[in-house]
């Protein structure tokens, strides 16, 4: 599972450059570093269009285009890789609307039930990571559409399995290009990409407890030695 994640890079131009974006829509105007992105929060996704990457603002929690409301959005923040092409909620997006979700880390919790403590799991060198995702657009009003997304998860292995039995699918650059390709004739073949990240790609360190107070932007700050 992936229930909270981050993108703490302050400079949008640095983010855009790293992602190789050729069009960022309205993302540049509203971008800000986020230490603790929660379900139904606004973030952004990356897609490809005529072999050019573009970014667009999207809310976390998939809402199908036929939905009348978004009350179920928080239930669909993750899509299991094993059944992604089977479940009606994800099937059409899997075949037609695949994206990546830029991030620099995600959170999982360890410890006894009454004293759960968060870990921030990230790249050892602080690089961006690309989560496999799906996206949909629905209409909260007849004249307004909203893009939403879900993060694809797979079974965890090795280091991550000690923390949680699921983890987000982290794609490398080549895998991301294949995953986002809207002209892929056999999307089911892309399930080969939906596997755990190599062990050396991730490291974990303790983080402060979450604050649910929106006035502080849900900041989660890392402990410093």
SS3 percent helix, strand, coil of the chain, rounded to 5, is: 25, 35, 40
Number of residues in the chain? 225
* Token pair of 19 as six digits: 């992602």
pLDDT at 214: 42
**pLDDT tens digits along 172-207:** 999 999 999 999 999 999 999 999 998 889 999 998
Of the given ranges (66-80, 107-121, 126-140, 207-221), which has the lowest mean pLDDT?
A: 207-221
Task: Find out whether 154 and 196 touch, Cβ atoms under 8 Å.
Answer: yes
Question: From CA 96, how far away is CA 184, in angstroms rounded?
Answer: 9
Q: CB-based contacts of 15: which residues, under 8 Å, 6+ apart?
A: 7, 9, 31, 102, 128
- The pLDDT-based confidence of 213 (bands split at 50, 70, 90) is very low
pTM surpassing 0.75?
yes
- Radius of gyration, alpha carbons of the chain: 17
pLDDT tops 50 at residue 86:
yes
Backbone phi, psi, residue 12, to 5°: -65, -40
Identify the pLDDT of residue 209: 62
What the chain holds in terms of domains, given with CATH numbers, is 5-216 (3.90.1680.10)
pLDDT for residue 147 is more than 60: yes
Name the strand (E) or helix (H) holding 72. Answer: none
Quote the pLDDT of residue 210.
Answer: 53
pLDDT mean across residues, the chain: 90
């Amino acid at each position: 599972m992936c229930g909270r994640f981050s993108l703490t890079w302050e400079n949008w131009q640095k983010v855009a450059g790293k992602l190789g974006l050729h069009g960022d829509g309205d993302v540049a105007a509203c971008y800000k570093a986020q230490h603790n992105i929660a379900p139904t929060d606004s973030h952004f996704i990356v897609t490809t269009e005529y072999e050019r990457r573009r970014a667009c603002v999207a809310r976390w929690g998939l809402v199908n285009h036929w939905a009348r409301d978004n009350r179920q959005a928080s239930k669909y923040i993750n899509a299991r890789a094993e059944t992604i092409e089977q479940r009606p909620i994800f099937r059409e997006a899997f075949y037609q609307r695949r994206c990546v979700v830029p991030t620099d880390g995600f959170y999982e919790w360890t410890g006894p039930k009454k004293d759960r403590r968060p870990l921030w799991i990230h790249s050892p060198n602080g690089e961006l990571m690309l989560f496999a995702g799906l996206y949909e657009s629905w209409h909260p009003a007849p004249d307004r559409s909203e893009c939403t997304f879900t993060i694809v998860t797979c079974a965890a292995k090795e280091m991550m399995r000690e923390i949680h039995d699921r983890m987000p699918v982290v794609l490398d650059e080549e895998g991301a290009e294949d995953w986002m390709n809207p002209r892929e004739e056999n999307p089911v073949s892309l399930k080969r990409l939906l596997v755990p990240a190599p062990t050396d790609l991730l490291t974990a360190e303790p983080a402060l407890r979450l604050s649910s107070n929106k006035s502080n932007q849900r900041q989660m700050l890392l402990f410093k030695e």
